[in-house]
Structure 1
């Protein structure tokens, strides 16, 4: 079926006996004041200059999928592109309807009824009034706006569309009958190019041409269109399920300021090739994923999005990932979510996942101490994310993670971490110096982890603690150094005030529930506090007991990893998949398993031939 393209007015579009349905997988209504103001300015300009300009406002293109006539005798169109514009126009018409009802004259009520019957609702075959716009996310809010406007009642604050409605209503509520009537004429004369087709594949092609080439939409929206266009099979129940999954994916991604980050991180895990940047990930996916594989791709993205939401929602509360929240490290998310996916699939257990994430955290802590930039590790993290996401056994995971940790260690070798830490202002804190005040969370995090080494009956939570300066905070050295800082409850902090350090130490010993505070008097020497000794002890705990990078945590050496990688490479090149799967299962014990198990006799010969043994 060929598509049709027509130049329409808002009056043409809303007045016909039709319903415009927003598919469930479509993004939410996202227009903001910027968009509303632009539309209002254009409409007002044409209204106020109608004697000197011969044209009406052009609002762009909408793409509609002509589904069929429904049982009520109304034409049903699915809005593929243009939801934001049509929803906004519908709300503007509702505001005009409300203000005619507000004015309340005979002429105003007559025009209000005209708007209600001609543009806000369509008359079904059985004489029922159906809303012109059907959007399952906003149906109740739309109906509430119309119903409340009929009697000029206030709109409840929890109405999902109250912001956009209030914006236009506030602009119209002090206008007279003549102005509103002229404004209505301008709204109804707004021009829109309408493209209609009844073929799904064709309509999605049109959508892509209009949006992808100019990159007008977010990557996640372009990806949605691509998946819904090609995902197989095209059976209704399967498409409904695909739409449901996409809604969950979108909901999970919407916890981010920019949902495209989740798509970017998923691509790092799913595709063995990196996008140039976040804004090119849609093109990478389209180029690398065959359309026959989009069903599986959608399933995997659905699972990934669930784990991604789990990570992001728990960043601040998980002691292993809290550091990445404090440092706003988004680069590492692909790696950690890949680990979460394996955990969810029971390939690894909680203990193994925690050990891995702890080591990743410890590396990044040390790496940040050295003040290196994160782009140096982009390729390393992306490669590890892909390998971990695709591994199928616990043994394989251990080799991948160990390989990563040995490579990570190379970045911090040769640094005197204690010395660099001392001069790194990131780990200094002052209320007086505003540039150091922002370090509060990181300082509390470090002291929390160090103090918990000696805490006996309970753990310290940084969220419940304030930072206390032992010698009064003046914004300068040495008061800003970590070894002059401790953690206390807010109540105890207030009682310490600006007392001399020996009084503070005595109060902390007797009143603090933190064991490390109770032990601070050990640094008192002849009425003086030995800051050098506390500095040495803190740095020793930080780098030798808390944030320690241990590449051989799984009892594998760099030689073990090198040999594993060599065998894996040879088996892949020879396409010996049975041997490869056994390697992933048995690791460095592969050869011994082949020798000891009679059923592997043939595979042992292949192995021996490949490696000249």
Structure 2
């Protein structure tokens, strides 16, 4: 195997100019109090003091495994294969220390430390040093935003772990807690002579100077082989390993053995074949609760044993169906027009799947989508009903997830019940009924009210900086433009235009000041005043732009809020197909 071990420290790693990505299929952040408390105490116990000063000492963090080339720097992100728990914990601790410095009025120290969390690319745009797909966007808002402008509550076990780790570090880094911990080892006189700021700086340096062995592999397969070697001893079998062993015990001889091994390998290869890959365990659970029964991972092996009778034929059929669903799963998370022979009637589908996966970053939807693909392939759903179901899910998550950031534990249950019922349909009439009763009606009950939606919609903004909120605002503008032009698919040449120039201030970033414009025209219009832009807008082929300049002879900041509210009302009524409150007489023409 071709890989290069190298000794690094945390300072050089986080200042390397590289972005580090924790893929969704990697283990979620799961350190409990025992883990992060031990890490924190190790850092504190390694500090040394003398003559009124405090400093750090050498500490070894072990091995970290990556996929990528550090020499390429910003060109390609580095994937973290082993080390995500430590790097996430360090990022959380740095966020806490940055907050502590800021509380003390040490804004320069706060900003400098935050540079290990957020850095800038060659264009001067802010980017996150560590990117976690499974905890996005919670990790961004709660840990990687120095201003913490967007308040959000944890909704998953991983997000709870992140919050608990942050709160633990926050409590432990108070002046009283730090000095109390140090006094146990150094004595009162020594600790009392050291300032609180100096203790925080020493803790910062202790983490930054931690060393580790960095192993950079050339590709994922190589990294997985290295990871298997590093973790060969004492590794507890996961449920997916137990299920695999159970199947292989039955299909172990001759042709059956060859079939089982080839089929299993085909499934793994399929799940690693796209730009977005997924682990076998994640896929298997989504498949299982889409077809058989909703259950937690901890009891999935038992559920498998109770549901799938131990039998050669049944196990072979199960593997074949698993492979078929793996292929559909990859179409869902890596949507490409090529998968549908570039037929225009499927462009909307590719767009919708991409939106759910990349823009809204929701994974529960895959449970329902797997079942929809299954009945589509069995010709048990009309094209109109198939489209209706998928757009229902997309529109719901725009309002519920992207705009209103609402949380519920019921979605997985809703999607599982819908998927299981859908797969049991035997004709198109049954399918239509299940889509209405098991999908649309339950989701309608969870929809945010108009009052909640409009408040959150009006907060959407778009900036050229790397902000997680950009994607949902951009999506809303593209969707409105589609509606006004009577199209299903976003314009290929469109770009977000700030009607009043973005340079006029943060207020100009608001959705009430945005419209879709051809990229070339947008570039030509530049930062001109609205009146100066009108001749450029007149060249646009977009119906929305034509209506806008006809309705607005001038444009200023006082018009933003009213327009944002009108956009929200039209979106809620016409795109989401929701009823407006009585007395709200919004018309489509008012969208300009």
Using the size of structure 2 for normalisation, the TM-score is 0.51
Is 1:236 equivalent to 2:254 in the alignment? yes
1:329 deviation in Å? 0.6
| 8 Å CA contact 2:457, 2:568 repeated in 1 | no
1:334 deviation in Å? 0.9
Partner of 2:11: none
252 and 357 in structure 1: CA distance in 2 versus 1, 3 angstrom threshold: same
Is 1:517 equivalent to 2:545 in the alignment? yes
| 8 Å CA contact 1:384, 1:401 repeated in 2 | yes
1:453 to 480, 483, 490: 483
1:539 to 550, 568, 571: 568
Partner of 2:531: 502
Give the gaps of 5 or more residues in structure 2. 9-216, 338-346, 580-592
Q: C-alpha separation between the residues in 2 aligned to 1:491 and 1:400? A: 46
Q: What do the CA deviations read for 1:146-169 (whole angstroms, capped 9, x no partner)? A: xxxxxxxxxxx999988899x9xx
| 8 Å CA contact 1:32, 1:164 repeated in 2 | no
Q: C-alpha separation between the residues in 2 aligned to 1:460 and 1:343? A: 21
Q: Partner of 2:497: helix, strand, or coil? A: strand
Partner of 1:265: 286
1:323 to 355, 374, 377: 355
| 8 Å CA contact 2:454, 2:569 repeated in 1 | no
The 5 A counterparts of 1:272-311 are 272=293, 274-277=294-297, 281-292=300-311, 293-311=314-332
Q: C-alpha separation between the residues in 2 aligned to 1:262 and 1:480? A: 39
1:251 to 254, 263, 269: 269
264 and 421 in structure 1: CA distance in 2 versus 1, 3 angstrom threshold: same
Partner of 1:174: none
Q: Partner of 1:466: helix, strand, or coil? A: strand
Q: What do the CA deviations read for 1:448-505 (whole angstroms, capped 9, x no partner)? A: 221122337x776366433221112259653122121122333322222211122223
Partner of 1:379: 413
Q: C-alpha separation between the residues in 2 aligned to 1:260 and 1:35? A: 31
Partner of 2:495: 466
Q: C-alpha separation between the residues in 1 aligned to 2:489 and 2:219? A: 42
The 5 A counterparts of 1:76-115 are none
Partner of 2:387: 354
The 5 A counterparts of 1:3-42 are none
The 5 A counterparts of 1:184-223 are 215-216=236-237, 219-223=239-243
| 8 Å CA contact 2:482, 2:490 repeated in 1 | no
| 8 Å CA contact 1:429, 1:439 repeated in 2 | yes
Q: What do the CA deviations read for 1:526-561 (whole angstroms, capped 9, x no partner)? A: 6658445533442233112223369xxxxxxxxxxx
Q: Partner of 1:467: helix, strand, or coil? A: strand
The 5 A counterparts of 1:147-226 are 215-216=236-237, 219-226=239-246
| 8 Å CA contact 2:380, 2:426 repeated in 1 | yes
Is 1:420 equivalent to 2:469 in the alignment? no
1:301 deviation in Å? 1.3
1:394 to 424, 428, 439: 428
Equivalenced residue count is: 347
Give the gaps of 5 or more residues in structure 1. 1-28, 38-156, 168-189, 194-209, 551-613
| 8 Å CA contact 1:323, 1:361 repeated in 2 | yes
1:371 deviation in Å? 2.4
1:36 deviation in Å? 13
1:417 deviation in Å? 4.6
Q: What do the CA deviations read for 1:203-224 (whole angstroms, capped 9, x no partner)? A: xxxxxxx98xx5345x544432
Q: C-alpha separation between the residues in 2 aligned to 1:161 and 1:414? A: 48
Q: C-alpha separation between the residues in 2 aligned to 1:257 and 1:36? A: 30
35 and 358 in structure 1: CA distance in 2 versus 1, 3 angstrom threshold: farther
Q: C-alpha separation between the residues in 1 aligned to 2:334 and 2:493? A: 20
Q: C-alpha separation between the residues in 2 aligned to 1:35 and 1:224? A: 36
Compute the RMSD of aligned alpha carbons.
Answer: 3.9
296 and 547 in structure 1: CA distance in 2 versus 1, 3 angstrom threshold: same
33 and 260 in structure 1: CA distance in 2 versus 1, 3 angstrom threshold: farther
| 8 Å CA contact 2:242, 2:301 repeated in 1 | yes
1:408 to 443, 450, 457: 443
Q: Partner of 1:268: helix, strand, or coil? A: helix
1:341 deviation in Å? 0.5
161 and 347 in structure 1: CA distance in 2 versus 1, 3 angstrom threshold: closer
1:324 deviation in Å? 0.6
| 8 Å CA contact 2:495, 2:516 repeated in 1 | yes
Q: What do the CA deviations read for 1:76-127 (whole angstroms, capped 9, x no partner)? A: xxxxxxxxxxxxxxxxxxxxxxxxxxxxxxxxxxxxxxxxxxxxxxxxxxxx
Q: What do the CA deviations read for 1:267-307 (whole angstroms, capped 9, x no partner)? A: 102222x2324x65345324543213423322321221121
Q: C-alpha separation between the residues in 2 aligned to 1:222 and 1:454? A: 53
| 8 Å CA contact 2:530, 2:555 repeated in 1 | no
311 and 159 in structure 1: CA distance in 2 versus 1, 3 angstrom threshold: closer
1:337 to 370, 376, 385: 370
1:414 deviation in Å? 4.2
| 8 Å CA contact 2:286, 2:367 repeated in 1 | yes
Using the size of structure 1 for normalisation, the TM-score is 0.50
